[in-house]
Chains A and B, each alone.
Chain A
Amino acid sequence: MKRSFHSTSANLAGGPSAPINYPSLEIENGGEKQKMNLFQALNNAMDIALQKDPKAVIFGEDVGFGGVFRCTVGLREKYGANRVFNTPLCEQGIAGFGIGLAAQGATPIAEIQFADYIFPAFDQIVNEAAKYRYRSGGQFDCGSLTIRSPYGAVGHGGHYHSQSPESYFGQTPGLKVVIPSTPIEAKGLLLASIREKDPVIFFEPKLMYRSAVEEVPVGDYEIPLGKARIVKEGKDITLIGWGAQMRVLLQAANMAEEKLGISVELIDLRTIQPWDVETVINSVKKTGRVVISHEAPKTGGWAAEISATIQERCFLHLEAPIQRVCGYDTPFPLIFEKFYLPDHLKNFESIKKTIHY
C-alpha cells in the first residue's frame, strides 16, 4: 500500500531538535542565490534540465501534479504534458520505458515514488539498463537514463517508506549510484547525473526534503560524480557517511571533539558507485582510524565494501579496527525506529571505542 506524507520534522530523526549548522559547499562563480530546501533545489535542477535539453522528459507515478514530495511542482505547466507526465502504477514499466526512451536518444528522468518500491524494477535496472552498452559492444546504450527516488528514514516510514537500497545497486557494474546530502549538493549532483552518459540511480534523502535549507545558486552548475567531499578536516579519526546520515555524523563529530578533545575528519561520499577511493584512503592514511556509518543494515551494506578496501590499501596505517555503525540486520521497524537508527550517540560511542583502542 502506498501513501504519501510530508511531515519531516528533525525531531523524528532521533536527534535533538535544534538545527545543526551543516557547512555549505561553496560553488565557484555560482552567481545569484536563493533560499531553497532540498525538494526545491531538485525542482530547480530539473527545471534547468528541461529548459536546456529539449529531449529531456520527466515521468513516474503522480509527477504531473508536482509529485508526492513536491519535487516536480510547476514543471508540467511550464513544459507541457508531453514532457512531464504520469505513468501507470508499475515500476518495472517505468524503468523499461525509461530505458527505451534513452536508447532512442531522449533524456529520461524517471521517478520511483519510494526507493522501497524500486525492487519491481530491479531486473530492468540490473539486467537491462546496467548491461545495455556492454552487451551491445557500444552499438546501443541507455546512458541518458536517470532514476530518482526518495530513500531513507523519515521518522514514521515503517518497512516500506524507510529503506536504503544503495548497496544492491552499488554492486552492479554499469550503474552509477548517487546520494546528495544538502540542497546545493542535490542540485549540482542531479544535473551531473542527468547529463552523465551512464544510467544513474539518484537516491534523495526524504528526511531532508523540507528540513535542509541553504542559499542555492539559481544558475546551472554541476558537482562531479565519483568525488567525495571533505566536509570538515581533522587529524585523529575519519568519519564516513552519505545522505541524511551526514547531519547525524556532524553531531557525533562535534560531540566527540567536545568530550574527547580529538579532531574528526568528516567525509561525505556523495557517489556510492564509483566511490572516491583516493580521498578516503588519503584521509585514513593521515588519521589511522575510521568509522563508517549508514542507515541500511550492516550485513552487505556499503560500509563493508569501503572497510574492505581501506584494509587492503591502508593496512600499514591502521591504529584500530575499522568500525561500522549501521542499521541492524532486521527489516526497518515502525515504532522502534529511534532504537534502530545509527544515531549520533551510537556513532559517538564507536568513535570513542576506536580512539581508545
Chain B
Amino acid sequence: HGQKIKVLATPSVRHLAKANSIDLNKVQGTGKEGRVLKENILDFINGTNISQ
C-alpha cells in the first residue's frame, strides 16, 4: 500500500498517551512486535523511556 506503518498500541494505551499529550511516535515500544505498552508511556512521563 505504501502507507506509513502506524504505531501499534491498544485503545487504552492510546488514551493514556492522549490524556498526557504524548506523541506515540516518540515512545519506544517494548511489547510484542514493538507495541507501545502502558508502562512505556508511564516511563516516558518519568523521563526514563529512550525516545527514537
Residues of chain A at the chain B interface (Cβ within 8 Å): 282, 285-286, 288, 315-321
The answer to whether B6 and A315 touch across the interface, beta carbons within 8 angstroms, is: no
A316-B3 in contact (CB<8A)? no
Say whether A315 contacts B3, CB under 8 Å.
Answer: no
B6 touches A282 (CB 8 A): no
CA separation between A320 and B15, bound complex, in Å?
Answer: 9
A-B contact count (CB 8 A): 20
What are some 10 contacts across the A-B interface (CB < 8 A)? A282-B1, A285-B6, A288-B6, A315-B10, A315-B11, A316-B8, A316-B10, A317-B6, A317-B8, A319-B14
Taking chain A's interface residues, is the majority helix, strand, or loop, or is none over half, making it mixed? helix
Secondary structure at chain B's binding surface: helix, strand, loop or mixed? loop
10 further A-B contacts with Cβ under 8 Å, apart from A286-B3, A315-B11, A319-B11, are: A286-B1, A288-B6, A315-B10, A317-B6, A317-B8, A318-B11, A318-B14, A319-B14, A320-B11, A321-B11
Q: Given the complex of chains A and B, what is the CA–CA distance between A321 and B10 in angstroms? A: 12
Closest CB-CB distance, A350 to chain B, in whole Å?
A: 17
B9 close to chain A: CB less than 8 A: yes
Size category of the binding interface on chain B: under 10
Question: Considering the chains assembled together, what is the distance between the CA atoms of A320 and B14 in angstroms?
Answer: 9
* Chain A residues whose CB sits within 8 angstroms of the CB of B11 once the complex forms: 315, 318-321
Specify the chain B residue showing the minimal Cβ separation from A287: B6
Task: Name the CB-closest residue of B to A320.
Answer: B11
Contacts of A285 in B (CB 8 A): 6
In the bound complex, do residue A316 and residue B1 qualify as a contact, i.e. CB atoms below 8 Å apart? no
CB neighbours (8 Å) of A315 from chain B are 10-11
Q: Which of A288, A316, A319, A320 contacts B35 (CB 8 A)?
A: A316
Among the interface residues B9, B11, B35, which one has the most CB atoms of the partner chain A within 10 A?
Answer: B11
CA distance A115 to B9 in the complex (A): 43
**B1-45 near A? 1/0 per residue, CB < 8 Å:** 101001011110010000000000000000000010000000000
Minimum C-beta distance from B39 to chain A (A):
16
Question: Which chain B residues border A319 with CB–CB below 8 Å?
Answer: 11, 14
Complex Cα distance, B9 from A315, in Å, reads: 8
Cα(A318)–Cα(B7), bound, Å: 11
How far, in Å, is A321 (CB) from chain B's closest CB?
8
Closest to A318 in B: B11
- Tell me, rounded to whole Å, the shortest Cβ–Cβ distance linking B23 to chain A: 13
**B6 contacts across to A, CB distance below 8 A:** 285-286, 288, 317
A233 to chain B, nearest CB (A): 11
Q: In angstroms, how far is the closest chain A Cβ from the Cβ of B7?
A: 9
The residue in A282, A317, A320 that gathers the most chain B C-beta atoms within 10 A of its C-beta is: A317
Q: Which residues of the partner chain B approach A317 to less than 8 Å between Cβ atoms?
A: 6, 8
Residues of A with C-beta under 8 A to B3: 286
CA distance A247 to B1 in the complex (A): 27
Q: Which of these, A282, A316, A320, A321, contacts B9 with CB under 8 Å?
A: A316
A22 to B6, CA, bound (A): 31
Chain A residues, Cβ within 8 Å of B35: 316
How many angstroms between the C-alpha atoms of A282 and B2 in the bound complex? 12
Among residues of A, the one whose C-beta sits closest to the C-beta of B36 is: A316
Nearest residue (CB) in B for A286 is B3
CB distance from B49 to the nearest CB of A (A): 19
Closest to B32 in A: A316
Q: Which residue of A lies closest to B9 (CB)?
A: A316
Complex CA–CA separation, A318 to B9 (angstroms): 8
Closest Cβ of chain A to B37, distance in Å, is 11
In the complex, A318→B1 CA distance in Å? 19
The CA-CA distance from A315 to B8 in the complex, in Å, is 9
The 7 closest A-B pairs by CB, nearest first: A316-B8, A318-B11, A286-B3, A317-B6, A319-B14, A316-B9, A316-B10
